[in-house]
Amino acid sequence: MIIIAAFSIRVWRLSSPERAYFDEIYYADAARAYLEGREDPNWIHPPLAKMIIAGGMKLNNEIAFYFPGMYHRDKNVIESAGGRLASLFFGVLMIPVLFAFAKRLFKNEEDKRTPVLIAFFAAILLSCDFLHFVQCRISMLDIFLAFFSLIGFYYIWRYIGEPGNPAVFLILGGIFFGLGTACKWNTIFGACAALLAVMIYVKPEMKLSSPGGVDFKPWERFVMHTGFRLYEIVVFFLLIGIIYSSAFIPYFGTGGTLAGIEKHHIDTINFHLHPKEFKHPYLSPFWKWPLVARPIWYFFVGYNNDTVNSGIIAMGNPFFWWTFIPIFLFMLVYGIAKRKKELLFIALGYLAFWLGWIISKKGGFFYYMTPCVPFMALAVSWFLGLLCKKFNTLSPAIIYIFLAAFFFLAFLPILNNYPISHHYYYDYLMWFKKAWI
pLDDT tens per residue across span 34-92 = 888 888 888 888 999 999 999 988 887 666 544 444 445 555 555 667 789 899 999 99
For the chain, the maximum distance between any two Cα atoms, rounded to a whole number of angstroms, is 90
The side-by-side arrangement of strands in the sheet containing 308-314 is 296-303, 308-314, 420-421
Helix 24-36 × helix 48-66 angle, to 10°: 70
For the chain, domain boundaries: 2-435
> b/e string for 376-385 if b means 16 or more Cβ within 10 A?
bbbbbbbbbb
Cis? peptide before 17, omega within 30° of 0: yes
Q: How far apart are CA 385 and CA 401, in angstroms?
A: 12
State the Cα–Cα distance between residues 339 and 344, nearest whole angstrom: 8
Res 216: pLDDT: 57
Residues 50 and 31: beta-carbon distance below 8 Å: yes
Q: What tens-digit pLDDT sequence spans the chain (437 residues)?
A: 889 999 999 989 888 888 888 988 889 888 888 888 888 888 888 999 999 999 988 887 666 544 444 445 555 555 667 789 899 999 999 999 999 999 999 988 877 888 999 999 999 999 999 999 999 999 999 999 999 999 999 999 999 988 777 889 999 999 999 999 999 999 999 999 999 999 888 876 544 444 555 565 565 566 666 677 788 888 999 999 999 999 988 887 777 778 778 888 887 777 776 666 567 778 889 999 999 988 999 998 877 777 788 889 999 999 999 999 999 999 999 999 999 999 999 999 999 999 999 987 778 899 999 999 999 999 999 999 999 999 999 999 999 999 999 999 999 999 998 888 877 877 777 776 565 55
Q: Give the whole-angstrom CA distance, residue 76 versus residue 115.
A: 45
pLDDT at 214: 52
Distances (CA, A) of 179 to 242, 247, 370: 10, 8, 16
- DSSP class of residue 39? P
pLDDT of amino acid 236? 92
Three-class DSSP category at 435: helix
Nearest one of 4, 8, 16 to 416, comparing CA atoms:
16
Q: 148, exposed or middle or buried, with CB in 10 Å at 0-12, 13-18, 19+? A: buried
Q: Is the CB of residue 183 less than 8 Å from the CB of residue 190?
A: no
